[in-house]
Every structure is written in C-alpha cells, then in structure tokens.
Amino acid sequence: MILKHRYEPVELKIMRSLNVRMNLAAKDENYYLNLEKGYEGERKFDEWIKSFSDDYLVLNDLLLEYNNTLFQIDSLMISSNKISLFEVKNYEGDFFIEADRWYSISKTEIKNPLLQLQRNESLFRRLLQELGFAFPIEAYLIFVNPEFQLYQTPLNLPIIFPSQLNRLMDKIKKKPSRLKDVHSKLAKQLLSLHLKEPPYNRLPEYHFDQLEKGIACPLCHRFYHHLTKTTLLCTSCGGSEEYPVAVLRNVEEFKLLYPNGKITINHIYKWCSLIKDKRTIRKVLSNHFKLIRQGKSSHYVKND
Ligand SMILES: [Zn+2]
C-alpha cells in the first residue's frame, strides 16, 4: 500500500521552466538534466514497488532529520519482518569500482553512492531507536537503468541491478508480511516527521525581463509557435492544448517562479506572449480566479 506518493519536485519544475526560458550555464544545465533523470528513475522504481500487496507499507520520498542532519530516503517499505530502504539511481553507461572508489569508464571519479546509502541507513537507524521502535533494517542501492554497467563489483555489496529486481521482490515476499498496529503507528509517525522540500539553493539567478516569454508544451517542453482560434499547436511533438488550459498552466508556472509575483492581466499577457488578444487572458483569469480590486495594482488570487 502506497502511503506516501512521490510528486514532481518543485525544484525540478522550476529548473525545467528556466531551461526553456533562458540559456542555462553548463553546470546549471547539467544539474537540471540530473534532476530530470533522477526523477525519471524514481518513477520507474515506483512502478516496481507498486506491485507489492497491501501487506507492505510504502513511503516515497521522505525528508527526515536526525541530530540536525537532513537525509532523504527515495523509498521506504515497512513489512512485518523488516524495514527496507531504497536508494534509487538512474545512472547510464559504463562504470567501475576500484579500491572502494567509483569511476566512470573515462576514469573520472564519481561520488560513491554506497556512502550515501550507508549514511542514510545509519541516520535512519538512530532515528528509529529514538522513536522507540526496534525493527531490522536493510538498505539497497537500486540501479534502474538497463543501460548501466558496473564492472568489478564485489559480490557482497547491497546493490541491485535491473535484471535482479524480480528476484529481490521474490526474496522480500518469501517471508509473508503480517502487519500489526505497531507498523501503521510507525508509518504515521514517519509521515508526521517528513519535512517540506529543502530550500533550493542551487537555482541560478533569474529576472522576469530576461526570461523568454511564451507558453511551453507540457509534453516536450518546447515553446508553442502556432495557434488556431481556440487551440495551441506544438510543431515539435504534435501536441495541442486549448487556450484556457494552457494559460492556467502558464499562470501556475509564473507563480512557481515568482511566488510573490502578482497575477495581473498585464503580467500574464506578457508571460504568455503568444496569445495576442488581452481579452482571452482576462477571460481565463476572471473565470478561474478572484479579482482583488486595488486600482492600478488590481490583481487576481486563487478562489477560496
Ligand atoms: Zn510538444
């Protein structure tokens, strides 16, 4: 049973929007692509974990704190026998391990993901103790991308490759899980300890005037360039959207990038750019938001 679902991280949404609307520096673009890839990998893993029965409680994407240290768990599964922690990686390409260090095939050293797994496990173990629960814990590093190859992997590492996921499921299910109240109590407690997303300190600087205006297609994240009387058409992927849906999405994006920005007809008209008739914008805003009349600084807010 999935008790906590995974949502698209706000930071990823912001970076995706910035990637469409400005030229990201190489390091920022890299960071953005990694976020995109990481999320894609986690979604793949969610498909796998979804097929466990209701005798397993799943909490995705937990941000916890122990001893003033934040740690994030990609997926956590409670069964009556143990708690499993999963760290999910969507690495692609060839890598190798040499003397506990991890390298890409071009011999560039990368962060050893096992260290992160061990750190998380240790912090979680101590948190669990503090909460007064005594369950065995096991932690796995899961690679979900079939295009990933790790050479010279010692046999005793808690690593699961894509071809081993089915067997891991069989292994976990081998001992039937019979949940009791104490397990839902623990799940509830962990949910209550989950923290909101951490501050996004990796965001590049951006200003309204510098960002490219327009409406991006939600399927391929490229700007729409064509429109009919009622519909926006994407020449890149063939997708299409009716005006109100697209404008509302763009308002959401505006609020994401400018949490303190005011939703005014002028702002949104500029922001959407492609729609040349201000009345269209006015209509969509009036239909979906409440107008706060304040003379020149009149603006719209969400309906209660
Ligand atoms: Zn498209």
Q: Looking at residue 303, what is its pLDDT?
A: 83
Question: How many angstroms is it from 136 CA to the middle of ligand 1?
Answer: 47
CB 76 within 8 A of CB 69: no
* Rounded Cα distance, 87 and 36, in Å: 16
* Rounded Cα distance, 128 and 148, in Å: 33
* Size (the chain), residues: 304
What tokens does 304 get? 């209660």
* Rounded Cα distance, 265 and 284, in Å: 10
Question: How many angstroms is it from 133 CA to the middle of ligand 1?
Answer: 49
Measured from the Cβ of residue 21, the count of other Cβ atoms closer than 10 Å reads 19
Question: How many angstroms is it from 12 CA to the middle of ligand 1?
Answer: 18
What percentage of the chain exceeds 70 in pLDDT?
A: 99
Question: How many angstroms is it from 179 CA to the middle of ligand 1?
Answer: 45
- Which residue has tokens 């060839």? 94
Q: Looking at residue 218, what is its pLDDT?
A: 95
Residue 250: band (very low, low, confident or very high) from pLDDT cuts 50, 70, 90: very high
Question: How many angstroms is it from 19 CA to the middle of ligand 1?
Answer: 15
Q: Looking at residue 16, what is its pLDDT?
A: 96
Residues of the chain with CATH 3.40.91: 2-193
- Residue 297, pLDDT > 90, answer no
Question: How many angstroms is it from 222 CA to the middle of ligand 1?
Answer: 6
* Rounded Cα distance, 50 and 296, in Å: 51
Q: Looking at residue 296, what is its pLDDT?
A: 83
Residue 28: band (very low, low, confident or very high) from pLDDT cuts 50, 70, 90: very high
Q: Looking at residue 166, what is its pLDDT?
A: 95
Residues of the chain with CATH 1.10.10: 226-302
Please compute the mean of the pLDDT values over residues 181-207 and round it to a whole number: 91
Q: Which of 66, 57, 63, 55 is nearest to 131 (CA)?
A: 66
Tell me the pLDDT of the chain averaged across its residues.
95
Of 3.30.70, 3.40.91, 3.40.50, 1.10.10, the CATH number of 2-193 is 3.40.91
- Residue 202, pLDDT > 90, answer no
Residue 125: band (very low, low, confident or very high) from pLDDT cuts 50, 70, 90: very high
Of 1.10.10, 1.20.140, 2.40.128, 2.40.50, the CATH number of 226-302 is 1.10.10
Q: Which of 38, 84, 77, 83 is nearest to 60 (CA)?
A: 77
Question: How many angstroms is it from 217 CA to the middle of ligand 1?
Answer: 5
- Residue 187, pLDDT > 90, answer yes
Q: Which of 213, 69, 201 is nearest to 130 (CA)?
A: 69
Residue 37: band (very low, low, confident or very high) from pLDDT cuts 50, 70, 90: very high
Q: Looking at residue 59, what is its pLDDT?
A: 98
Between vectors from CA 185 to CA 183 and to CA 187, what angle results, nearest 5°? 70
Q: Which of 50, 173, 66 is nearest to 124 (CA)?
A: 66
Question: How many angstroms is it from 38 CA to the middle of ligand 1?
Answer: 22
Single-letter code of the amino acid located at 204: P
Question: How many angstroms is it from 246 CA to the middle of ligand 1?
Answer: 12
Q: Looking at residue 201, what is its pLDDT?
A: 77
Q: Looking at residue 304, what is its pLDDT?
A: 75
Q: Please count the helices (runs of H) and the strands (runs of E) in the chain.
A: 8, 15
Q: Which of 28, 7, 27 is nearest to 17 (CA)?
A: 28
CB 72 within 8 A of CB 60: no
Please compute the mean of the pLDDT values over residues 81-106 and round it to a whole number: 96
Residue 163's Cα: distance from chain center in Å? 24
Q: Is 303 helix (H, G, I), strand (E, B) or coil?
A: coil
